[in-house]
Every structure is written in structure tokens, then in C-alpha cells.
Amino acid sequence: MFSQVLTTYSWAEAQRAIHTKTARDVERALASTDRTLADFQALISPAAAPYLEDMARQSHFLTQQRFGKTMQLYAPLYLSNECQNICTYCAFSLDNKIRRRTLTDEEILREADALKAMGYEHVLLVTGEANQTVGVPYLKKAIQLLREQFAHLSMEVQPLDQPDYAELVAEGLHTVLVYQETYDQENYKKHHPKGKKANFTYRVETPDRLGRAGIYKIGLGALLGLSDWRTDSFFTALHLNYLEKMYWKTRYSISFPRLRPIDVLGAEGVTSRDFGQCMTDRELVQLICAYRLFNRDVELSLSTRESPRFRDHVIRLGITSISAGSKTNPGGYVVEPQSLEQFEISDERSPAEMAEVIRRAGYEPVWKDWDWSLMPT
């Protein structure tokens, strides 16, 4: 399990290693064709900042070579905002006194119809963590309802046990995203004080359980801004390296969730909680390119958290999949558009508009990249 690998690393030492990298380390990493974790540390270090254009050029080339001139499109489908966890940065946190809602079968289908009408073939099912109402039976039902309509089903929900994952894969689940949020165990405790999510080890072992259950793709990521993004990204890369060797039939993707402002409902009404500028655009580009230079095969995914201008430019710098027109509230597309969002999105353009942007950048928007005929259930 990756938890055992983690015991041989120290957060503080990894952080120091990154922050003491020199221009020479960066140049060596840039010149290498077989890059190591130490090279990745150099590429995400402050010392690499002056080399950003060179990194972007290499990242563009490597990505086109491996993925072609294509960009995958997907959309989230929020099924529920019920949650028993307290997470300081999330609007679905148990202590936020918002109205809770879990979509019924009929509502799920209405949302699905709306996404299908936009052209989507790949949807990401999202929930909070409420095992009583949104447990494995609910998720299984949702997959059964949706597999007739979409070619590719992904899921971003609470961590489950290995047999649960195996059951859902047999129903047609292709991908699971599970972000560690932060690999800094001390800070993890502070931001997750209550609920099952407070268990760092259970969460960090989730990709192992997924790999053992034979999932097709696992999405990793750290919530950028919760701790030092550089150190968290190093641990994400370490995790990726471990998983690729361990579960070699599984594909991997990395996401870049930068903290976004959320609405919190308390005694004084709705207030906005802002986390400030925790990572600059320049730094996020550096990170995207560093991942590509480190691993030419990993899929890199970008959500509507980012601004239109930023998204339009990074399409060419290593990103391979992108969401558009997203709603981050259950029922957000048609059932109840006004309910509270998990986080505020920055890019409100429709999928059709985004597809046009992708085409103008010289890429083909890819709606479908999986087929039920490839996974007999």
C-alpha cells in the first residue's frame, strides 16, 4: 500500500529538497529524456521559473506526440450535496447550514438528458459523503440508469472498500477520481476535523483499493492551496509513480483543483469564504508542464475553476481533458439551477462555445473515447 511508501518520506525534507533546487538542477532535468522524481522536484521548484517557456515548448510537443491534436470533453453531474464530513474549504461541509438534496432517479435522468443534449458522452458523477443515503446501492443504481446514455462514466465520491469498487466496475464504472487534498498529514487533520474523511490513511490507500478492484482509470490530485503546492505535487507524482508500477493495467490522470471561493451559510446569512491567491497562473502553468515533462502518458485535466483566458491558453500546454458548462450543484443543469454550488466556477461558457475554442486552437474536441463494447458487463 502507498501508505507504507509514505512512511519512508518526510514532508519537511521533501519541501526542503524542492526549495533548494538550483538552476543547474533545472537545466539537467530539461536536458534529460528519462526524468526522475528528483528532476520533477527541480521542474516544480522556484528555480525553474525562468525556464517556463522552454518547459511549455517541450510539454506542447510531448503532449501532441502522445495524445495527438485532440482534447477530451467531460462534464460533472452532481447527484447529492449531503455530507457527513467537515472540510474547511468545501461548501458541502456538514457545518454549512445549506439545504441538502439528493437527486431521485427521475431527476438524475432529467439532468442526464440535458448533458446528452449538449453532446456529452463522458460524465463525472459527484457526491458528498453520506453513506446512509448515498451509499453503494445508490451509486450502483445511478450507474445502471446512466450507462445506457453515456459512453464513459466516471465518479468522484467518498472512498469505498475494494469489493464495492469491484461491484461498481462490473456495472460499468470506468474511472474514479480521488484527490488526497493534501499529503501533509498535520495539515490534513486541521482541514478535515470530522467524519470518515478524517482518516488520512484510509483515503491515501483508496487508489490501491481501486487498482486491486481492476478500475480502468484513476484520477489523482492535491487541492492546490491547502498546503505548499510544490510539496503536495511532489507527493502526487510519487503516488503516481508507485501506482503505475503496481497497477500497470490502469490509466492515470491528474487534476489541478486550485482553491476557489465558496458560499457559507451561517447565523449572519450567506458569506463568501475566499482563500486568496495561493498559486499564481504562472505557477499553475509550471506545474502542468512539469507533470508532462515527468510523465508523457498521464492525462492532465482542467476544470471550469479556471478562467476562460487561462483555459484558452493552456489547451496547448499539456492538458488533455477539459470540462465545460459545468454546474457544481445537484440538479444544477435543469432540476434546480439555483441550489448552492460546491464551489464557484470561473468559466461559464457552454460546451459548444468551448468546443469552438478548442477547434480554433487547432485541436479536435473529442466527446467519445470509450465504448461499452470494450467492457462486457
Number of residues that bind other proteins (CB under 8 A): 28
Binds other proteins by CB under 8 A, chosen from 60, 66, 110, 316? 66
Binds other proteins by CB under 8 A, chosen from 50, 68, 137, 193? 68
Name which of 326, 296, 297 is nearest 311 in CA terms: 326
Spatial distance between the Cα atoms of 114 and 280, rounded to a whole number of angstroms = 34
Q: Which of residues 348-367 bind other proteins (CB under 8 A)?
A: 359, 362-364, 366
To the nearest whole angstrom, how small is the minimum distance from the Cβ of residue 70 to other proteins?
6
Binds other proteins by CB under 8 A, chosen from 22, 43, 64, 291? 64
Q: Which of residues 115-154 bind other proteins (CB under 8 A)?
A: 121, 151
Burial bucket for residue 347 (CB in 10 Å: 0-12, 13-18, 19+):
buried
> Of 28 and 368, which CB lies nearer to other proteins in the complex structure?
368
Q: Cβ of 238: how many Cβ atoms within 10 Å?
A: 18
The verdict on 110 binding other proteins (CB under 8 A) reads no
Spatial distance between the Cα atoms of 198 and 245, rounded to a whole number of angstroms = 28
Q: How far is CA 149 from CA 117, 139, 228, 328, 353, in A?
A: 11, 16, 41, 21, 23
> Of 211 and 330, which CB lies nearer to other proteins in the complex structure?
211
To the nearest whole angstrom, how small is the minimum distance from the Cβ of residue 299 to other proteins?
10
Name which of 80, 114, 74, 101 is nearest 333 in CA terms: 114
**Block residue for cell numbers 491547502:** 226
Q: Quick one: how far is CA 9 from the chain centroid?
A: 24
To the nearest whole angstrom, how small is the minimum distance from the Cβ of residue 250 to other proteins?
7
> Of 92 and 363, which CB lies nearer to other proteins in the complex structure?
363
> Of 330 and 365, which CB lies nearer to other proteins in the complex structure?
365
Binds other proteins by CB under 8 A, chosen from 81, 175, 250, 323? 250
The verdict on 343 binding other proteins (CB under 8 A) reads no
> Of 95 and 113, which CB lies nearer to other proteins in the complex structure?
113
Residue 359 near residue 368 (C-beta atoms within 8 A): no
Q: Binding pattern to other proteins, positions 289-318, x when CB under 8 A?
A: --------x---------------------
The verdict on 371 binding other proteins (CB under 8 A) reads yes
Binds other proteins by CB under 8 A, chosen from 2, 11, 67, 242? 67
Spatial distance between the Cα atoms of 203 and 136, rounded to a whole number of angstroms = 17
To the nearest whole angstrom, how small is the minimum distance from the Cβ of residue 360 to other proteins?
11
> Of 128 and 207, which CB lies nearer to other proteins in the complex structure?
207
Binds other proteins by CB under 8 A, chosen from 37, 38, 145, 375? 375
To the nearest whole angstrom, how small is the minimum distance from the Cβ of residue 315 to other proteins?
12
To the nearest whole angstrom, how small is the minimum distance from the Cβ of residue 148 to other proteins?
12
The verdict on 65 binding other proteins (CB under 8 A) reads yes
> Of 86 and 246, which CB lies nearer to other proteins in the complex structure?
246
78 — phi, psi (to 5°)?
Answer: -75, 125
- Contacting residues toward other proteins, per CB under 8 A: 64-70, 121, 151, 244, 248-251, 297, 359, 362-364, 366, 368-371, 373-376
